[in-house]
Amino acid sequence: MTNRPLIGVTPILNFEKQRFWLRPGYLDAIRDAGGLPVMLPHTDDEAEIDRILDLCSAVLITGGPDVEPELYGEERLNDSVETQKVRDDAETALFCKAFDRGMPILGICRGMQLINVLLGGTLYQDLPTQNPSEIRHRQEEANDVATHGVTLERKSGLFRAVGSERIDVNSFHHQAIRKPAPNLAVTARADDGVIEAAELPAYPFLWLIQWHPELLWKVDANSRAIFRAFVDAARG
């Protein structure tokens, strides 16, 4: 396939086992949508990031541990908040440089939360404590089972991509956006009001998704539509 844009994807670092890893769905869904994914190192070295971004057409910031509350001016709420400084530092540096370049950016789960913080928003540190709800945002069902609905904002790229106002999603998140960053448009909410997607209308392509389309894409056309929109933006 020609014109397959190279898309940088940030991995998880298992510090105890000293291993980088990624759920294959992040990479496979990008390939299915016509992109060529590459797993990136964790680095906050500016020259390294510049060189990496010279090679890539877009960046996907993935799921993982909680975002350091200090980054939005709060103290740790309780022991449920688990952070990883090396990853916060690397993804902060990567996002800021990609954002300065106007590159297409997709943030999934933790990626969504981190980007909201870096743009000036805040998070619920522990969703069940700070925003109790009937909806289980950490489902026990399998990864590729949708367990709660979300309602989409009609004036959004996400709505245009999936073509439906109401979709079902999976849910594996401990945190969520509390105060959206300035200029960030909320594009989907769960029935309890929790923000499930957002985008930055004034920017070429910056979509934030709280659920996990990379775990659903094989069985869910909406998830494939999200990756297709992202890869199309990367293709320019």
Is 56 catalytic? The answer is: no
Q: What is the pairing mode between strands 12-14 and 6-9?
A: unpaired
Residue 213 Cβ, how far from Mn ion at the closest point, in Å?
13
Q: Is 139 in the site for Mn ion (CB under 5 A)?
A: no
214 is catalytic: yes
With binding defined as CB under 5 A, does residue 156 bind Mn ion? no
| Number of residues written out for the chain | 236
Taking the alpha carbons at both ends of the chain, their separation in whole angstroms is 16
CB of 212 to Mn ion, least distance (A): 10
Nearer to Mn ion, 87 or 173 (CB): 173
Angle at 190 between CA 210 and CA 9, to 5 degrees: 10
CA distance 36 to 209: 20
Which of 42, 87, 110, 137 touches Mn ion (CB under 5 A)?
137
Residue of the chain from 122, 125, 139, 171 that contacts Mn ion (CB under 5 A): 171
**Extended strands (E) in 1-136:** 6-9, 12-14, 19-21, 36-39, 58-61, 105-108, 123-124
Known active-site residue 212: yes
Selected range binding Mn ion among 28-36, 53-61, 68-76, 129-137, rule: CB under 5 A: 129-137
Give the residues lining the site for Mn ion (CB under 5 A): 137, 171
